[in-house]
Structure 1
Amino acid sequence: MEDQATNVVVATRTALDQASTLAVHYGFTILGAIILLIGGWILASIVSRSAYRVISRIRGIDETLASFFQNVLHYSLLILVFITVLGQFGVQTASIIAAFGAAGLAIGLALQKTLQNIAAGIMLLILRPFQVGEYIETTNAEGFIKEIGLFATEMRTADGLYLMAPNSTLWNTPILNHSREPDRRQELSITIGSSADLELARKTIFDVIKADQRVKSDPAPVVYPDDLSADQAVLKIEYWTATSSWTATRRDVISKLLTQLAEANIPMK
């Protein structure tokens, strides 16, 4: 009985010693992991915020794009910290990295169209073929830009309708920006009867164009015969004006031309 009691005591002491050793060992490991997690979280936040400030100062970088890069960097650093913590406990991190890679590939294949829109949105925000407030025209969409997002671009059509266009449809097609250049050319055509005085008609039209102060003197406006037949003549008008006043100038010029040609008894067809 004494031998059995002695063996129990020895076994108990051995177990307690081993448990004490393991507690000390894993206690420091757990403490180190906690410190690493907290420090990694703080470091990730500091680095991502610093990166945001640096990126946002770059000319041509949109705030949406800067925030996107900040979030990508922040969560990438957190994943790295998490994998490092698991390595502290003896976990084979190579298999975890391989699993993340496989999961990323699967997600990428599943969200291929979405990722195309994100990639197109990043390129649109970097290269800026259009900005908020500008009027653009593509084979897929046309209207004023309201907001450029990572997934889609919000627009307002000329008749006031809301339009959302996926970024990939805008990036993969030629974009005609009606608002980007400061000046824009206007072309008008007027058809008059063959009995009308062609030179008088040309002078009357030219005087109307020159009288409008919004019409640029350089390049100078021109009025010239563009087509001629037995019963009519076509006069072509070309002038330049500021893009911001292009539509208003067109309306006023056409109205004045109708009035002045009628007063000069020049028949139109």
Structure 2
Amino acid sequence: MASQTPETSSAGSSGLDLSFVASIVDWLEANIMHIIGAFAVLVIGLLIAGVLSRWAERALGKSSKFEPTVANFLSNIVKYALWAVVLVTVLSQFGVETASILAALGGMALAVGLALQGTLSNVASGVMILVQRPFVVGEAISVDRFTAVVQRIGLFTTELKQFDGLFVMVPNAELWNQPIVNLNRHTTRRIELIVGIGYGDSMKEAREALLSLAAADERALDDPEPQAFVASLDDSSVGIGLRVWCATSDYMALTWDLTEAAKARFDEAGISIPFPQREITMVQG
């Protein structure tokens, strides 16, 4: 068998390289206009996508209905959607069937959506929370088993700080699917205090004593005016109720002060606050 000399091998390699370069040159000459057009579409499309996304972010940021996080998220959606349009347009310049590309992208999007349905659910819920604004940062809410102050609202989770100082991170989907009680949204709240008195004590005197406490405290609002009433007839006591409206910021302090003052006032007036009692009758056999 004849052996191949180095000179022959080098010549063959050079010929292959020249042929490859020639084929590239021929392809460039045949598609130069398509390449220029695709490059122009790519550059102009990316510039337009950037301008429109920034315009969308500024426009949404000026609206009081959209939080900055939502504005940034929606502007990014606009940008990525325009990028996809630019990519499909560039490929069409080279005769690529865009219908098959769109079908493939749709299939990929469906697969990703199914794989990340929990995450996407949190994102959708986060967007709804930021748009609908059932609560904002700094407000206290009660939802499910948590009563806490909102620290941060993200697209995936919401961070809460309980009144005992504990940190809580809740997925947005869980928050959005639960009834939410906002403790700070309205400027006024109603306090309802129930104090039990003995059956032998005067209900009228007890009501007047509670109303006098409300009248003496400047934090209690006159409109709606305080109300005192008989709330219940229990086994060992008569429940006397007091309803007082106050500023939301005064709710906890006024509740504590009225509870303490009610006990002191009843003691001064000789009105008893009985503890549960049970009468037992012994029958001799």
1:243 Cα shift? Answer: 1.0
CA shift digits 1:76-112 (9 cap, x unpaired) = 1111111111111121111111110000000011111
1:17 Cα shift? Answer: 11
Q: Following the alignment from structure 2 to structure 1, what is the Cα–Cα distance between the partners of residues 46 and 260?
A: 67
After TM superposition, list the pairs within 5 Å mapping 1:175-214 onto structure 2: 175-214=180-219
| Aligned residue number for residue 39 of structure 2 | 34
Letter in 1 for 2:128: M
Letter in 1 for 2:37: G
Letter in 2 for 1:208: L
The answer (yes or no) to whether the contact 1:184–1:243 under 8 Å persists in 2 is yes
CA shift digits 1:10-32 (9 cap, x unpaired) = xxxxxx99987643342333233
Q: Following the alignment from structure 1 to structure 2, what is the Cα–Cα distance between the partners of residues 254 and 140?
A: 26
Letter in 1 for 2:50: S
| Aligned residue number for residue 172 of structure 1 | 177
Range moving further from structure 2, 146-155 or 102-111: 146-155
Q: Following the alignment from structure 2 to structure 1, what is the Cα–Cα distance between the partners of residues 28 and 234?
A: 104
| Aligned residue number for residue 86 of structure 1 | 91
Say whether 1:142 aligns with 2:147: yes
Letter in 2 for 1:199: K
| Aligned residue number for residue 261 of structure 1 | 266
Q: Following the alignment from structure 1 to structure 2, what is the Cα–Cα distance between the partners of residues 19 and 203?
A: 101
Q: Following the alignment from structure 1 to structure 2, what is the Cα–Cα distance between the partners of residues 110 and 17?
A: 47
Letter in 2 for 1:187: E
| Aligned residue number for residue 123 of structure 1 | 128
Say whether 1:158 aligns with 2:174: no
Distance 1:140 1:121, change over 3 A: farther
Secondary structure at the counterpart of residue 267 of structure 1: coil
After TM superposition, list the pairs within 5 Å mapping 1:226-237 onto structure 2: 226-228=231-233, 232-237=237-242
| Aligned residue number for residue 75 of structure 2 | 70
**Number of residues of Structure 1 aligned to a counterpart in Structure 2:** 254
Distance 1:19 1:133, change over 3 A: closer
Q: Following the alignment from structure 1 to structure 2, what is the Cα–Cα distance between the partners of residues 233 and 117?
A: 49
| Aligned residue number for residue 57 of structure 2 | 52
Distance 1:77 1:140, change over 3 A: farther
Q: Following the alignment from structure 2 to structure 1, what is the Cα–Cα distance between the partners of residues 71 and 108?
A: 26
Secondary structure at the counterpart of residue 136 of structure 2: coil
Letter in 1 for 2:132: L
Q: Following the alignment from structure 2 to structure 1, what is the Cα–Cα distance between the partners of residues 271 and 23?
A: 112
CA shift digits 1:139-173 (9 cap, x unpaired) = 25331111111111111112111111111111112
Q: Following the alignment from structure 1 to structure 2, what is the Cα–Cα distance between the partners of residues 125 and 95?
A: 37
CA shift digits 1:227-249 (9 cap, x unpaired) = 34685322111111111111111
| Root-mean-square deviation over aligned CA pairs | 2.1
Letter in 1 for 2:91: L
Q: Following the alignment from structure 2 to structure 1, what is the Cα–Cα distance between the partners of residues 118 and 246?
A: 42
- Over 4 Å off, 4+ runs: 16-22
Range moving further from structure 2, 69-78 or 86-95: 86-95
Letter in 1 for 2:81: S
Range moving further from structure 2, 197-206 or 171-180: 197-206
Say whether 1:23 aligns with 2:28: yes
Amino-acid identity (%): 37
CA shift digits 1:193-232 (9 cap, x unpaired) = 2333332222221111111111111111111122346853
The answer (yes or no) to whether the contact 1:140–1:169 under 8 Å persists in 2 is no
The answer (yes or no) to whether the contact 1:45–1:74 under 8 Å persists in 2 is yes
Instruction: Using structure 1 for the length normalisation, give the TM-score.
Output: 0.87
Secondary structure at the counterpart of residue 84 of structure 1: helix
Q: Following the alignment from structure 1 to structure 2, what is the Cα–Cα distance between the partners of residues 55 and 218?
A: 40
